[in-house]
Amino acid sequence: MMILSGDPPRSRILTLVLVVIILALAATPFLFPGAKALNVAAKICVFAALVASYDLLLGYTGSVSFAHTMFYGIGSYAIAIALYGMGPNWAAVATGIVVGLPLAALLALAIGLFSLRVAAIFFAMITLAVASAFQVLASQLSWLTGGEDGRSFQLPELLRPGTVLIPKSLFGFEINGRILTFYLVFAVSALMILALLRVVNSPFGRVLQAIRENRFRAEALGFRTVFHLTYANCLAALVAASAGMLNALWLRYAGPDTSLSFSIMLDILLMVVIGGMGTIYGALIGATIFILAQNYLQSLMGVASNAAGEAGLPLLPGLLHPDRWLLWLGLLFIASVYFFPTGVVGRLRKASGDKSAGSSH
Amino acid sequence: MSDIAATDPLPKPKRDLAPILLPVALAVLMIPLIGSTSSWLTLTVASLAMGMMIFIMASGLTLVFGLMDVLNFGHGAFIAVGAYVATLVLAPFAASIQADSLWMNLAVLAPAALLSMAVSGALGLVVERVLILPVYGQHLKQILMTTGGLIVAEQTLYALWGPQIIPMPLPTSLRGSFILGDVAIAKYRVLAMLIGLAIFIAIQLVLNRSKVGLLIRAGVENREMVEALGYRIRRLFLGVFMTGSALAGLGGVMWALYREQVHASMSDDLTVLIFIVVIIGGLGSIGGCFIGAILVAMVANYGGFLVPKLALVSNILLMVAILMWRPRGLYAVTSR
């Protein structure tokens, strides 16, 4: 209980699902051999942390930010540029962290202070504008960021796939640098999610929820709402930047498509809503469902599209084309905002008779 | 007792001229910086034309928000849909587009624009009923729903037309420029300016001279009071929403002709621009939206000419500057 900050899943099925997901992720290198499975698992870990940090904003404070990928991108690029410029050593990793995290926090502070000065309603629009300007900036400053191509880099010796830590002869599995990197991603993501769980269940987190429900009343109770909201913004930005760093370390690459594009922002929104806003656990569920679908459902759509094409049906091949999978996710997104605003977690909690299930907005 | 007699006319509302002077001052300030008068004139006309197109697209959004407090993040979809629908008419009649006769060109362009407006307006009806009505009054869900709608609309356009960029050539008679001395003014920009001005005047006339306009203005100021007086504000809102969508469609056609290409992602870039305009202008204010659109276009054009690198963030800087001056936009009309 301590480790979950007194906020257990509160549903037997949910507990079971979470345990299965976490065990499967932890055992991926041994259960599912192959590069693709490991990639999917690492991506789920990174996105679970990223989405959880977004949930702190969307689910707990009720403010819609479109700048979350910006912080994710800052983290990715900080690591990538440092390792690209300084060569594959630990000092470069440390530099990336020391430069990236404060940068993300400062930018979040600036956006927070500025947009909280104007009407609250502007927040979503302002973050959208800032994020799109940042995206253009990143692709234009090609001497620094590599432009559209991004930056590929080498990892420090210890984390390279070629580094064999425990040879196959010992346990029947080869533990190499790649697997070590995976566990690094797994452990840091897990720590960040647990930390976020701690934050939302602290008195600070309660104030955030009070602000979400009724900002005026929270203010009348004597809480400095501007301080709380800005603080939550900075925290979320820090976690997002860290997730970006993990992503860059895993991919050995940072570029606009993998860390900055608007479509990642939409992915995050979809994951939060499908998993369940205001629950933190929803982040893990949403990320798992979404990324599994992204990686395995798409090929299924290709098959269906080809079948429809051969059957000579009009329109369907186009609609079922693997590139159009966002269309179906968009429909799912609208349906889930409308019918299941509390997402998978809220549904499961409700099914097990938990009265305080989900959030009531 | 006040000393105003019943026969005295009502006191005139205070005119707030500072925002109107802003673009004028900006333009005048730029004359010495740019140096040559002819480039300054060309740039100014370009900004006015671009500003008018942005205004056409943004006007619906600001009214929709002002009237019903609805945040529509999917407004960009209407722009893209309008542009794509226009290709349906323009592609089969490519011959008359290439003909060197203004009337032949307009005979194809006008129906294309009208069809775009009709389709975008009809789509607006569907969006309002399906996406916005169920989450009426909940900002968070409105943003999520309309963002979802934007994804679906964009992906449907890709599915129907394919992901490639569709060329949309300007009609022959609108190509080229008027040459006045050593100043070249593109013909299409003049047309865009005229259409934009006409729409601005039409909106102002409807808002200020008709009963519907009176109700809309009253609704923007205090929705509940209008409802209490027995007017069906939901129906009024639907009308405003559809008109706004249709105007966005028209703006989409004009923008596509301006860029001479159509792509579903055009809605993304324009959405950001439109949001900045609406924020600068003050949510719900048509006049503010008009000035905001011109300001954004001016900053983009002058900035792009003087300091090309700055053009990337110039809109953000403009927004920050304006909001520092007036935190609720140039004209704050809503009480929210």
**Residue pLDDT, tens place only, A63-74:** 889 999 999 999
The length of chain A, given as a count of residues: 361
pLDDT band at A360 (very low <50, low <70, confident <90, very high): very low
Greater pLDDT, B42 or A51: A51
pLDDT band at B2 (very low <50, low <70, confident <90, very high): low
Picking from A324, A350, A200, A338, the residue whose alpha carbon sits closest to that of residue A273 is A338
pLDDT band at B53 (very low <50, low <70, confident <90, very high): very high
Contact A324 B158 (CB under 8 A): yes
Report, in this order, helix, strand and coil percent for chain A, each rounded to 5: 75, 0, 20
Distance in Å, alpha carbon of A32 to nearest chain B alpha carbon: 33
Q: What is the pLDDT of residues A224-279, one digit of tens each?
A: 988 999 999 999 999 999 999 999 999 999 998 888 888 899 889 989 998 999 99
Picking from B298, B273, B307, the residue whose alpha carbon sits closest to that of residue B42 is B298
Tokens at B188, concatenated: 């299409």
Q: Is the pLDDT of residue B81 over 60?
A: yes
Q: What is the pLDDT of residues A124-180, one digit of tens each?
A: 888 888 898 898 888 888 888 888 888 999 999 888 888 888 888 777 778 888 999
Q: What's the pLDDT at B211?
A: 93
The length of chain B, given as a count of residues: 336
Domain boundaries, given as residue ranges, for chain B: 40-264
Query: Which DSSP letter does residue A253 get?
Result: E
pLDDT band at B56 (very low <50, low <70, confident <90, very high): very high
Q: What is the pLDDT of residues B250-265, one digit of tens each?
A: 999 999 999 889 988 8
A 10 A CB-CB count for B34 gives: 18
Spatial distance between the Cα atoms of A133 and A125, rounded to a whole number of angstroms: 12
Q: Which residues contact B77 (CB under 8 A, 6 or more apart)?
A: B123, B127, B149, B150, B153, B154, B267
Task: Establish if A105 belongs to a structural domain.
Answer: yes
Least CB–CB distance from B144: residue in A126, A269, A329: A269
Picking from B130, B77, B119, B149, the residue whose alpha carbon sits closest to that of residue B246 is B119
Task: Establish if A244 belongs to a structural domain.
Answer: yes
Picking from B24, B17, B76, B35, the residue whose alpha carbon sits closest to that of residue B295 is B24
Q: What is the pLDDT of residues B291-314, one digit of tens each?
A: 999 999 999 889 888 887 777 688
Query: Which DSSP letter does residue A151 get?
Result: E
pLDDT over 70, % of chain B: 94
Q: What is the pLDDT of residues A180-208, one digit of tens each?
A: 999 999 999 999 999 999 999 999 999 99
Q: Exposed, middle or buried, B51 (CB in 10 Å: 0-12/13-18/19+)? A: buried
Q: What is the pLDDT of residues B115-171, one digit of tens each?
A: 999 999 999 999 999 998 888 878 888 888 999 999 899 989 988 888 889 988 888
Domain CATH code at residue A296: 1.10.3470
Query: Which DSSP letter does residue B183 get?
Result: E
- The answer to whether residue A323 neighbours chain B at the CB level (below 8 Å) is yes
Q: Which residues of B touch A132 (CB under 8 A)?
A: 268-269, 272
Largest CA distance in chain A: 67
Q: Which residues of B touch A338 (CB under 8 A)?
A: 134-135, 145
Residue of B nearest to A332 (CA): B148
pLDDT, mean over chain B = 87
Greater pLDDT, B239 or B65: B239
Q: Alpha carbon of B162 to those of A40, A223, B51, B120, B187: distances in Å?
A: 29, 52, 30, 20, 31
Please say whether the beta carbons of B294 and B23 come within 8 A. yes
Query: Residue A165 belongs to what H/E stretch?
Result: strand A164-166
Q: What are phi and psi of A358, to 5 degrees?
A: 65, -165
pLDDT band at B267 (very low <50, low <70, confident <90, very high): confident
pTM of the model: 0.87
Q: What's the pLDDT at A300?
A: 83
pLDDT band at A358 (very low <50, low <70, confident <90, very high): very low
Task: Establish if A248 belongs to a structural domain.
Answer: yes
Give the structural domain span for A214.
12-351
Spatial distance between the Cα atoms of B192 and B172, rounded to a whole number of angstroms: 16
Q: Alpha carbon of B62 to those of A81, B149, B299: distances in Å?
A: 41, 19, 21
Number of domains in chain A: 1
Q: What's the pLDDT at B104?
A: 84
Query: Residue A236 belongs to what H/E stretch?
Result: helix A225-251
List the beta bridge partners of residue A151: A254
Which positions 148-207 of A are in contact with B (Cβ < 8 Å)?
A: none
Least CB–CB distance from B275: residue in A128, A262, A329: A128
